Amino acid sequence: MQTNNISIDPVENEATFQKKVQLDILRLDKMHPVVSGNKWFKLQYYIQDALSKGFHSLLTFGGAYSNHIAAAAYAANEYRLKTVGVIRGEEPQQWSHTLQEAAASHMQFAFLPRNEYDAVKRNACSSKLEQQFGKVYVIPEGGFGPLGMQGAANILRITDTSTYTHIVAAVGTGTTISGIIQATGAHQQITGISAMKHTFSLNDEIQSLLNTPLPGRFRLVHDYHFGGYAKYTPALTAFMNTFYHTTNIPLDFVYTAKMMYGIFDLMGKDFFPPWSRILAIHSGGLQGNRSLKPGVLVF
C-alpha cells in the first residue's frame, strides 16, 4: 500500500486561536479507500509473516461492521491469500456493507455466539475452526499483538512528527496507541481517547503489549464514548457535520469523531497548555458511516 496520499492538515478555528494551540490532523484516511487509516499499518507485518511462513490463508476476527475485517479481506486478496473472517454474533438476516465488501474480496465467514467469540478473538484458532478451515495464519482481533504494534509505530515515521508536543489517537484494542507510545519521544505527551464504555482494562492490555510500565506521559481518557462502542448521539453526528463544513475533513462516528470531539472539549478545559502543538491521528474507518441512515451526515 502506498502512503503518498497521506497529508498533515491544519485545523484552525476560534477554539485553537483562543487557547493558543496548533492542531494538525494526520490524514491516514486518504491512504486507501478500503485499507485506510491505521488498518494497513497493523496488518502489514502479519501479512509479511504469513507469507514468509508459507501460509496461503489468513483467519481473523471482528464484528459485522469491523473496519479490520474489511481491510484484512481486501489486503489479503491483493497478496493472493485466502481469508476467513470470524464474526462476532449470529449471522444477520441482511449482511452489513462491511460483510458484503469483505465477501467481494473472497472472504469466508464463520459466525460465532459472543461467548465463543470472546474466548478465541485474541488467542489462536480453535479446534472447531481448524476442522472447518484447515491450516490458517491467525491474526487476532483488530491486529492486536506485537506485530500489529510494530506496524502501528510506523504511523509516526511517515514524516517527521518530533516537533509535536502532544499526540492524540482514538483507542479500540490498544494496538495503535501502543505503537504510538513506542514511536514517540520523551518530550511528547500521548492521549488516547477510548471509543468504548468503561473499558478500564485497556491500560493493562496496552502495558502487556509494551511489556513495560506505562509512561507517565500517557493518559487514557474514557469520557467521550457517547454510549459505548459504535454508539452515537445527535450531538456527535452534528459535530461531525459541523467539523466537515469547517475543515472538509470527514470523520467516522465509531472512532475519529469521538477523538476530535474529545480534543476540543479537553482544549476548552485547558488540558493542553498554551503553545501546544497537537497532532491528531485520523485512523480512517470511514466505511463504518455507511451503517448510518441516509441524510444523517452531509458527506
Give pLDDT tens digits for 66-82: 999 999 999 999 999 99
**What pLDDT is stored for residue 154 in this prediction?**
97
Looking at every residue in the chain, the average pLDDT score rounds to 95
Mean pLDDT, residues 283-292 taken together: 92
Within 10 A of 151 (CB to CB), how many other CB atoms are there?
25
Over residues 78-104, the mean pLDDT reads: 95
Q: What is the mean pLDDT of residues 208-233?
A: 96
Q: What is the pLDDT of residue 16?
A: 98
Q: What is the pLDDT of residues 224-268, one digit of tens each?
A: 999 999 999 999 999 999 999 999 999 999 999 999 999 999 999
Q: pLDDT higher for 186 or 33?
A: 186
What's the whole-model pTM score?
0.94
How does strand 8-10 pair with strand 22-27?
A: antiparallel
What pLDDT was estimated at residue 125? 63
CA torsion sign for 260, 218, 228, 152 is: positive
- Residues 189-204: what's their mean pLDDT? 94
Percent of the chain with pLDDT over 70: 98
Question: What confidence tier does 19 reach under pLDDT thresholds 50, 70, 90?
Answer: very high
Residue range 155-160: average pLDDT? 95
Position 126 scores a pLDDT of 64
pLDDT reading at 213 higher than 70: yes
Residues 6+ apart with CB under 8 A from 135: 55, 57
Q: Which of 293, 225, 281 is nearest to 39 (CA)?
A: 281
Question: pLDDT band for position 124 (50/70/90)?
Answer: low
Confidence of residue 207 (pLDDT cuts 50, 70, 90): very high
* Residue of 31, 33, 35 lying closest to 71 (CA atoms): 35
